[in-house]
Structure 1
Amino acid sequence: MLESMIAKVGSSVSSACTSICVAACFWPLVGAYYCLKFSIKAAESTIEAGYDVYNRRRIRTRRLPKSKPLLATASSSPQTATYPPTARARTSFLHLPPEIRLHIYRLALVGPAIVQVRTHSSFWGPRPAGWDSAQGIRDDTDAPSNALRCITGLGGSGLHQLVSPPSHGCVRYHAVSRLICGEGHHMVPGWVQPEKVVFPTDLMRSSRVVYGEVLDMLYASNTISLFGADIARYFCRNASPEGLSRVRFVHVALVMPSHGWDSSSQMKNVRGAMRMLKDALPSLQQLDVEVALTYGQPKNPERFWDWLREDVLGQFRGLERFVLKVSVYKPLRPNRSRGFEGSTPQYEPLSSWDDGEYQVLKDGALLSTEAASF
């Protein structure tokens, strides 16, 4: 009897010691895990904040030096320059007809594509398969950009385009990979696989003739997608003058606060950026403008609609194609467990939108400059 009682007491003491040892080992590990977790989150937040500050400074101050202008003469324009071989000269790539050289460029480069401009490593992606060969922007019947709603709902912007939902437990989500125009997945950056990607600049450095021909394909054949007024300014200040003069297809996304759109700085920034685009792109043919208001209907929607039509977009003339989409994002309550879907706000049309006035705006944008002057 006594021996059994001693054994029970011994086993109780042993189990208590085991529990104490497990607790002594377990709780420090739990504390270390949470310390590491919050330290990583704090470091990520600090890095993102620093990157945003750096990007904003880069947007405000960066201006590339002016490049040497291309020689545009009747005998040696980029599209027609050929060098007929002589009896003593050796045949080279430049002796090929321009049509064959352009076909070789198309095989070597990606295009026509959608280029979403960033301060570093711009995104590239294919145009939607349903677009015809002459189409560089969306149609009026296309829905507003789902990728733009997702990025905006996650707190992203033109300066911070790579965003992902907050982690849910141990589940971490990848970043948004869709373009805001066309909804296609952007391609892997060329610097990730440099041995498999031909960079346009690699060809453009070979000669001035090749530079002009590739420059025409790079700017004239692709759709330039600009996320925000700041990126539009950045593009106009840092692209080459010869490239800007060739741009034909442009998509612009403007995300504005519903209750702060009428501040003087906001109105001046948007209006000035669109005027800069008009002045910097003399060959612009197709313009796609998407306006997103966050969150809810704007203060004084009639005044917003008049300002958007007259001051911001009323300055464009001579376009072949013009599309405007205005989305009002509804207030959002993020749901981490639903990932991207839980961070994408629903949208509704602008309460002051008028189809007749939009048609008048479209007709004015498609009107030739000469006809508008009379």
Structure 2
Amino acid sequence: MSYVADSSTADGDFTRDTAYIDTRITADGRDGYPVEPGRYRLVVARACPWANRTIIVRRLLGLEDALSIGFCGPTHDERSWTFDLDPEGVDPVLGIHYLRDAYNKRIPDYPKGVTVPAVVDVARGQVVTNDFAQITLDFSTEWTAYHRDGAPQLYPERWRAEIDEVSQRVYTEINNGVYRCGFAGSQKAYERAYDRLFTALDWLSERLADQRYLVGDTITEADVRLFTTLARFDAVYHGHFKANRSKLAEMPVLWAYARDLFQTPGFGDTTDFVQIKQHYYIVHTDINPTRVVPKGPDLANWLTPHGRESLGGRPFGDGTPPGPPREAERVPAAHSAG
């Protein structure tokens, strides 16, 4: 996620800059960056849905020992995401306050928005990639030597074509669709975005009415990508982005599906609702100039029974759930539904 709204067309339609640093970290090192434990640091912000994906996948696959993680604060200035949560505001591994410094190390005077997630080569102090969609796929396919015992198959070969197809529609219509609503520059653009978003949410409700997960009978990459938007829907997108035909809690199938995932290790325990609200309501001053952060909604209902077990499915397939989050990586209880 960039710290600025990307741009809009003459008709007011929001457009996202998708030209990322697309260098890949691979098992064979074909781009010059081989998978090596301890070499890289994943820089994230819990507030960001794109970064939240990488936190989830890293945890589900058990990559904690191989790939360290650095957490930016939920808010930032016009220059960069910053490490406000660390002592003296400096990342203890990279030794920087501004994530932009790692971007400039890779591309001097980096001309684009500084985004998370970003994977940084620790020794060089430079960003290797911020291509969020590819990062999680590579965690599943290129980092296999460092997966935990019992790691699930989030991108199984037999389902990849369908995962890709579903994920693409989820991205264009829902992940990015809420932003098209929130950053629309005209009434017509907003109404177009609104209609597209809820058409897609209705499609998902139909798809998930009789199957527990988006593709196959286990959790896959597609579910991770959808979850991070659903987790932010009532807290942010419904009001802040005017995506207000219905709350998630008023869409029975999607609400049950989201609670099912939230209550699955790796999902709810990586979701920080306080930081999520702080980011959107404080940073987006063009939408919320007062920077007032709402107190609601009540989070306790995320832990209510969802009944999705009746649809069958095996959350982790032949694998097992991850263990508890590491102490240094836990979401504070007051920031979640716990």
- Same fold per superposition (TM over 0.5): no
- TM (norm. structure 1) is 0.32
Larger radius of gyration: 1
- TM (norm. structure 2) is 0.34
Identify, as 1 or 2, the structure richer in strand: 1
